[in-house]
Amino acid sequence: MTALPFPLAPEPDRAAAETGRKLFAGPVDFVKGVVAMSGLPPADRPEICFAGRSNVGKSTLINALTGRKALARASNTPGRTQEINYFALGDRLYLVDLPGYGYANAPLPKVQAWQALLKQYLSGRATLRRAFVLIDARHGVKPVDAEIMGLLDSAAVTFQVVLTKADKVKDREREAVLAQVRQALAKHPAAFPELVLTSAEKNEGLATLRSIIAGLA
């Protein structure tokens, strides 16, 4: 039997789960919102970033991971949505919240400015360890997601898909979406070979994701 490509990441063992729990239970602080490469904080520690279409559940996931109800929302007030938001997990790691993409009515110059900044960020940040690309478990990989994945391929930044809102799909639908995601990822050399299925609502997959991130710190 051939191994399933892009399996779900295994649940962490006790020690790995504890390492992840500890990292996220410690201090988490909003550092700054960045609109240009010149505004990035010094590259003095590893960082990971979260990317995803608007409404995919990015803020909710960041809040659930950190157990802080309004952390990501606080930096997501109108006008700040086009910024790259930096959070510090103690002094170990930066967690970077990229602006949501795929707004239906965003003006073209704004989209282009954002794409340019994103490209510069992804290809120019030596301390970026991994990008987490959030995909709605009901919708699978859309063309805009594939575009971001292509950017990550070009920048040679490893990315890992995190499915969100798992509580909103039934088993059969979930399997169909997983199959679509696996097929889409096969085209992307920078795709990390394991997926994470999460529900912020049901607290599912969060310990797994915390331990994966702690392993990169």
With binding defined as CB under 6 A, does residue 56 bind ligand GDP?
Answer: yes
Contacted entry of ligand GDP, Mg ion, none for residue 12, CB cut-off 5 to 8 Å set by kind: none
Measured from the CB of residue 203, what is the shortest distance to Mg ion in angstroms? 19
- How many Cβ atoms from other residues are within 10 Å of residue 163's Cβ? 26
Write down the residue that tokens 């282009």 correspond to.
112
Contact set with Mg ion (CB under 5 A): 58-59, 76
Contacted entry of ligand GDP, Mg ion, none for residue 57, CB cut-off 5 to 8 Å set by kind: ligand GDP
**Comparing C-alpha atoms, which of 56, 103, 62 is closest to residue 86?**
62
User: Which residue type sits at 189?
Assistant: P
Write down the number of H helices and E strands in the chain.
7, 7
With binding defined as CB under 6 A, does residue 165 bind ligand GDP?
Answer: yes
For residue 93, what are the β-bridge partners? Answer: 89
State the number of binding residues for ligand GDP (CB under 6 A). Answer: 16
Q: Which of 57, 99, 140, 205 binds ligand GDP (CB under 6 A)?
A: 57
Write down the residue that tokens 């169909």 correspond to.
176
Write down the residue that tokens 């504890």 correspond to.
18
DSSP run (H or E) holding 22: helix 14-25
With binding defined as CB under 6 A, does residue 102 bind ligand GDP?
Answer: no
Q: Which of 11, 91, 167, 175 binds ligand GDP (CB under 6 A)?
A: 167
2 to 31, contacts with ligand GDP by CB under 6 A?
A: none
The contact set with ligand GDP (CB under 6 A) reads: 52, 54-60, 100, 164-165, 167-168, 199-201
